[in-house]
A and B are shown apart, each in its own frame.
Chain A
Amino acid sequence: MQRTLFVAGLIALWQLAYFLGVDVFAVWKSYAVPSPAGVLKSFLLLSSGSGLGIAIITSMRRILIGFSVSAVLGGILGLLMTRFDYLNQNLKPLILGLQTLPSICWVPFAILWYGLSENAIVFVIIIGSTFAIALAAESGIRNVEPLYIRAAKTMGAGEGDLWIKVILPAAMPSLAAGMKQGWSFSWRSLMAGEMMFSSIGLGQILMMGRDLADINQVMVVMIIIVFIGTVIDRFVFRSWESGIRKRRGLDRDRA
């Protein structure tokens, strides 16, 4: 309720600012500033056809593929770094550096290697999120309480059991946090990838808005991106993470 009121207030302020800035004082150009009414109209127009739905489904498919691949790749990479000191000492600084690179920097490579194709977009997603997941996996595994491993060993756990039944579940809270971060990285990379060229997708609708000088359409897509990102973050990742934390009593002292 409180949040609905807040959002309503925000929209009212936005409308007021638009009214003052564009209509009353005419300091802003109407084509450069979106208005709530314009955004709503643009949204209704976009959603009257099947284009927006298809664009969302296409984008979601790409991100699911890209994110799954980076989760697996990142997990393996993180694991390797914990197993081999050589990799940890030499590869980790490199990965730390690469992680700071915005995924849009990879667009030229993507185009040269995969052409203007679906694969190019997925590549940008993968490269944009793998490193974050790898680093989270690495620190999660490294920080597993050694006592758990010792206890498991004295109870007869072999190497395989140790990894599957002890190290992986023990590292799960950090792995979940890493996945969550990886997800937001891949979401950003998806946009970078989709703006590369005209393909179906949310990014493309946004670019279309730019090409048509339709600032309201740009705004609609931005809102949809934020909305989907928030929904998934909240209902998938946050509930997963808080489930883990609650089960282990990690949230007891927090409100």
Chain B
Amino acid sequence: MGLSVENVSMTFPDSGKVTLQDVSFDVADGEFVCLIGPSGSGKSTVINLIAGLEKPTQGQILLDGQVVKGPGPDRVVMFQEAALFPWLNVSENVKFGLGMLRKSKEEQEATAMKFLKMVQLSDFRDYQVHQLSGGMKQRVALARALALDSKILLMDEPFASLDKQTINLLREEIQTIWMQTRKTVIFITHSVEEALFFGDRIIMLSADPGQVRNIIDVTLPRPRHIESPEFIRLRKELLQMLRIEVEEIAKKEYDAE
């Protein structure tokens, strides 16, 4: 059971660019997997394929033995931007997916409150989206995703547009929530530190074309702390181990900027 990505290749017809080539990995139930790789390694494409927003050119993705054919509420995505609907207020946004599942009004209300409390935004339930800061928006998006109680939570660099301070807070918060819920999470990041902070496993992708280069098991106990000596030691080790890749990331990132 769980998710398996089997020999997936992806070529975009418009550009003809091979974004992913023969990518395979499994994700067990309740596992937190981080995908890391330089820009152009097709990280986001992997998420889109698992979400069913795009179809692979070759290979297949199985969720609990079923081939993924299209998007569905069992694979909710948190995007780089919060993607909240500006015409709804905070709690209506959290309830959106529940409405799609035709849950009763009472159940929607109760579930929305529960998860808004979990992300510490219950006082803001009647706020309009534009009244929230970037970090708050992402927390609402997290509450919205959690409210659907999907099998898998797909997170596509959800901290990409936030400041360092907010990122640190949100990391702690997500770690706490994850330890409570033990959801299956696939988390995209370009930060080695973040991958090490969250991941049970880290899947390293290379660029042009995107291929699985390395899979690393992380056995650090949770909750993890960035300042703890083991964390620092492991990060150093990992950085050394991944030196070539990291240099490549750095170079790509540098070139991108």
Which residues of A are interface residues toward B (Cβ below 8 A)?
A: 147-148, 150-158, 161, 165-166, 169-170, 172, 244, 247-250, 252
**Nearest opposing residue in chain A for B80, CB measure:** A147
Q: Is residue B49 contacting chain A, with contact meaning CB distance below 8 A?
A: no
Q: Are B79 and A156 in contact (CB under 8 A)?
A: no
Which chain A residues lie closer than 8 Å to B130 at the CB level?
A: 248-250, 252
Which chain A residues lie closer than 8 Å to B101 at the CB level?
A: 156
Q: Are A154 and B77 in contact (CB under 8 A)?
A: yes
Inter-chain CA distance A161–B76, complex, in Å, is 17
Q: Are B87 and A157 in contact (CB under 8 A)?
A: no
Which chain A residues lie closer than 8 Å to B83 at the CB level?
A: 147-148, 150-151
Which chain A residues lie closer than 8 Å to B87 at the CB level?
A: 169-170, 172, 244, 247-248
Q: Is residue B96 contacting chain A, with contact meaning CB distance below 8 A?
A: yes
**Nearest opposing residue in chain A for B147, CB measure:** A155
Q: Is residue B22 contacting chain A, with contact meaning CB distance below 8 A?
A: no
What would be 12 A-B contacts, judged by CB atoms less than 8 Å apart?
A150-B83, A151-B83, A152-B100, A154-B52, A154-B53, A155-B73, A155-B76, A165-B96, A166-B85, A169-B88, A249-B130, A249-B131
**Nearest opposing residue in chain A for B53, CB measure:** A150
Q: Which of A150, A154, A169, A244 contacts B73 (CB 8 A)?
A: A154
Q: Is residue B229 contacting chain A, with contact meaning CB distance below 8 A?
A: no
Which chain B residues lie closer than 8 Å to A155 at the CB level?
A: 73, 76, 96-97, 100, 144, 148
Residue of B51, B87, B131 most packed against chain A (CB within 10 A): B87
Q: Is residue B193 contacting chain A, with contact meaning CB distance below 8 A?
A: no
Q: How far is the CB of A108 from chain B (nearest CB, A)?
A: 44
Closest 7 CB pairs of A and B: A249-B130, A156-B73, A155-B97, A151-B83, A153-B71, A248-B86, A169-B87
Q: Are A249 and B76 in contact (CB under 8 A)?
A: no
CB-contacts of B51-110 with A (<8 A)? 51-53, 70-73, 75-77, 79, 81, 83, 85-88, 96-97, 99-101
Which chain A residues lie closer than 8 Å to B51 at the CB level?
A: 154
Q: Are A169 and B85 in contact (CB under 8 A)?
A: yes
Which chain B residues lie closer than 8 Å to A158 at the CB level?
A: 100
Inter-chain CA distance A247–B31, complex, in Å, is 40
The number of residue pairs between A and B whose CB atoms lie closer than 8 Å in the complex comes to: 71
**Nearest opposing residue in chain A for B144, CB measure:** A155
Q: Are A249 and B100 in contact (CB under 8 A)?
A: no
Q: Are A147 and B129 in contact (CB under 8 A)?
A: no
Inter-chain CA distance A248–B70, complex, in Å, is 30
With known contacts A169-B87, A247-B87, A151–B77 Cβ distance under 8 A: yes
Apart from the given pairs A150-B79, A154-B53, A154-B154, 13 other A-B contacts in the complex at a CB distance below 8 Å: A147-B81, A148-B83, A150-B83, A154-B51, A154-B72, A155-B100, A156-B101, A156-B148, A169-B88, A247-B86, A248-B86, A249-B128, A252-B130
Q: Are A170 and B53 in contact (CB under 8 A)?
A: no
Per-residue contact bits, chain B 137-165, to A (CB 8 Å; 1 contact, 0 not)? 00000001000100000100000000000
Which chain B residues lie closer than 8 Å to A248 at the CB level?
A: 86-87, 128-130
Q: How far is the CB of B6 from chain A (nearest CB, A)?
A: 21
Inter-chain CA distance A17–B213, complex, in Å, is 86
Which chain B residues lie closer than 8 Å to A244 at the CB level?
A: 87
Which chain B residues lie closer than 8 Å to A148 at the CB level?
A: 83, 85
Which chain A residues lie closer than 8 Å to B71 at the CB level?
A: 150, 153-154, 156
**Nearest opposing residue in chain B for A244, CB measure:** B87
Inter-chain CA distance A247–B85, complex, in Å, is 11
Which chain A residues lie closer than 8 Å to B85 at the CB level?
A: 148, 166, 169-170
**Nearest opposing residue in chain A for B76, CB measure:** A154
Which chain B residues lie closer than 8 Å to A247 at the CB level?
A: 86-87, 128
Q: Are B77 and A150 in contact (CB under 8 A)?
A: yes
Which chain B residues lie closer than 8 Å to A147 at the CB level?
A: 79, 81, 83
Which chain B residues lie closer than 8 Å to A169 at the CB level?
A: 85, 87-88
Q: How far is the CB of A240 from chain B (nearest CB, A)?
A: 14
Inter-chain CA distance A156–B97, complex, in Å, is 7
Inter-chain CA distance A158–B131, complex, in Å, is 29
With known contacts A172-B87, A248-B87, A152–B96 Cβ distance under 8 A: yes
**Nearest opposing residue in chain B for A155, CB measure:** B97
Q: Which of B53, B72, B129, B131 contacts A156 (CB 8 A)?
A: B72
Inter-chain CA distance A253–B144, complex, in Å, is 28
Inter-chain CA distance A245–B30, complex, in Å, is 42
Q: How far is the CB of A219 from chain B (nearest CB, A)?
A: 44
Q: Which of A154, A165, A249 contacts B86 (CB 8 A)?
A: A249
Inter-chain CA distance A220–B70, complex, in Å, is 63
